[in-house]
């Protein structure tokens, strides 16, 4: 038997079925309540008590909190969630001066096997549904509101490869845009380089930001760090990136986790400059000092060399920034919280 639809997996049609017998405007009322007021059904005081209770039961949440931790004086909040089948994913909310960004998971685990990534080391559990992705954003948006902030940005940089779960991910993007009212320019999809996915993304109407996790600018090294490079080598990947730029007319970014002695040499910077400048608009480069993971015996590049690498890119004419690291004391690096709390029980908070 199929499970009841979760609150944010429900489409307007689903709501219509749940609200059968009610006046038609109820669907809009509930939809706006869920997405514009970020309310739970039992908080919709314009509905009768009986109907609220019925909806609360018909539209259960999908995510149970296992742990919620905060750091950076409350500026970073991280959740480990448990899904109905026991699989676990994580979400991180980060408040900055001028924006609040949530980093969401698109899959439970990941099948791409990048050697330096905790999620990749643990393997693939299953795809997330649209509602499981959207709920991460709504719950972070509620938390941002409680913190006196407004959630403004969404990045698909949590667990999983969004373009290997294309349809649910794209449906989530459309929901975030259409129902939550987030601008496409404030939504970033990060990919390890799934070329057919990038081409599909280029054909979509919404111009989301694209981040490509490059990490190496020559095929030999990239094959090692990012195994999917053997299927979609750099020449094919660059071609798809150029296609995305041509379709959207907007700069894309390359992610580069700096690994001590592996991809942080002058030669790596020079090759990266070449790749970034080979595009119709030079790519912006985001440098991230590698977060150490238990399954990979190499360290992040020391900060002094991170800056030198950044400066070399800039001298080569490429825009580069060093990503602020957030939440390291709460294991807010990809996949790490889940590994630390492998045996914790979820706490029963259901709204
Ligand atoms: N699968 C997608 C999105 C999730 S990973 C992708 O790979 O782009 C989000 C980002 O975290 C990617 O840029 C990824 O390379 C990076 N990342 C993974 N493990 C990391 C680590 N140990 N240290 C620093 N960055 C890491
Ligand atoms: Fe998957 Fe991204 Fe981690 Fe690679 S870096 S294993 S694609 S989550």
Write the CA distances from 31 to 12, 20, 79, 187, integer angstroms: 7, 15, 25, 21
Contacts with 343 (C-beta within 8 Å, 6 or more apart), sequence order: none
CB-count burial class (<10 Å; 0-12, 13-18, 19+) for 350: exposed
Least confident window among 46-60, 271-285, 287-301: 287-301
Q: How confident is the model at residue 329 (pLDDT cuts 50, 70, 90)?
A: low
Q: What are the respective helix, strand and coil percentages of the chain, to the nearest 5?
A: 40, 20, 40
Which one is catalytic: 90, 132, 161, 255?
90
State in Å: Cα 28 to ligand 2 middle.
Answer: 38
Q: What is the mean pLDDT of residues 114-123?
A: 94
Q: Determine if ligand 2 sits within 6 Å of the CB of residue 41.
A: no
The alpha carbon dihedral of 280, 305, 228, 286 has a sign of: negative
Q: How confident is the model at residue 214 (pLDDT cuts 50, 70, 90)?
A: very high
Q: How confident is the model at residue 243 (pLDDT cuts 50, 70, 90)?
A: very high
pLDDT, one tens digit per residue, over 141-167 is: 999 999 999 999 999 999 999 999 999
* pLDDT value for 298: 87
State in Å: Cα 96 to ligand 1 middle.
Answer: 20
Which position has the higher pLDDT, 292 or 267?
267
Which one is catalytic: 103, 110, 241, 334?
334
For the CA of 192, the nearest atom of ligand 2: 7
State in Å: Cα 190 to ligand 1 middle.
Answer: 8
The span from the CA of 148 to the CA of 153, in Å, is 16
CB 327 within 8 A of CB 71: yes
Atom 22, ligand 1: residue with shortest CA distance: 291
User: Quick one: which ligand is closest to 257's CA?
Assistant: 1
Q: How confident is the model at residue 176 (pLDDT cuts 50, 70, 90)?
A: very high
> What percentage of the chain reaches a pLDDT higher than 90?
86
Q: Determine if ligand 2 sits within 6 Å of the CB of residue 114.
A: yes
* pLDDT value for 279: 96
CB-count burial class (<10 Å; 0-12, 13-18, 19+) for 220: exposed
334 is catalytic: yes
- pLDDT surpasses 50 at 2: no
The pair phi, psi for residue 43, each rounded to 5°, is: -100, 0
- pLDDT surpasses 50 at 114: yes
Which position has the higher pLDDT, 347 or 94?
94
90 is catalytic: yes
State in Å: Cα 247 to ligand 2 middle.
Answer: 26
* pLDDT value for 347: 47
């Amino acid at each position: 038997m199929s499970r009841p639809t979760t609150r944010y997996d429900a489409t307007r049609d689903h709501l219509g079925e749940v609200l059968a017998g009610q006046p038609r405007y109820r669907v809009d009322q509930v939809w706006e309540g869920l997405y514009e007021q970020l309310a739970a059904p039992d908080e919709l005081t314009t509905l009768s008590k009986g109907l609220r209770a019925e909806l609360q039961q018909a539209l259960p949440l999908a995510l149970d909190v296992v742990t919620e931790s905060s750091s950076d004086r409350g500026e970073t909040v991280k959740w480990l969630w448990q899904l109905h089948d026991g699989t676990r994913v994580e979400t991180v909310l980060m408040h900055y001066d001028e924006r609040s960004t949530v980093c969401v998971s698109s899959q439970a685990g990941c099948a791409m096997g990048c050697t330096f990534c905790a999620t990749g080391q643990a393997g693939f559990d299953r795809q997330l549904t649209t509602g499981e992705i959207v709920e991460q954003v709504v719950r972070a948006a509620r938390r941002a509101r409680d913190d006196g902030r407004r959630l403004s940005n969404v990045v698909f940089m949590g667990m999983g490869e969004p373009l290997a779960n294309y349809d649910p991910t794209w449906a989530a993007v459309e929901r975030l845009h259409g129902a939550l009212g987030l601008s496409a320019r404030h939504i970033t999809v990060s990919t390890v380089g799934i070329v057919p996915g990038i081409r599909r993304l280029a054909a979509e109407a919404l111009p989301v930001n694209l981040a490509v996790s490059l990490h190496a600018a020559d095929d030999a090294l990239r094959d090692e760090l990012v195994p999917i490079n053997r299927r979609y080598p750099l020449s094919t990947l660059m071609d798809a990136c150029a296609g995305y730029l041509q379709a959207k007319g907007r700069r894309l970014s390359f992610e580069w986790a700096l690994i001590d002695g592996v991809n942080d040499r002058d030669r790596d910077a020079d090759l990266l400059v070449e790749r970034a400048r080979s595009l119709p608009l030079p790519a912006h480069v985001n440098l991230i000092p590698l977060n150490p993971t238990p399954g990979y015996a190499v360290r992040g590049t020391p900060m002094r060399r991170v800056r030198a690498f950044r400066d070399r890119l800039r001298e080569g004419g490429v825009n580069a920034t060093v990503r602020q690291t957030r939440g390291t004391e709460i294991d807010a690096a990809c996949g790490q919280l889940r590994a630390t709390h492998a045996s914790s029980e979820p706490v029963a908070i259901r709204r």
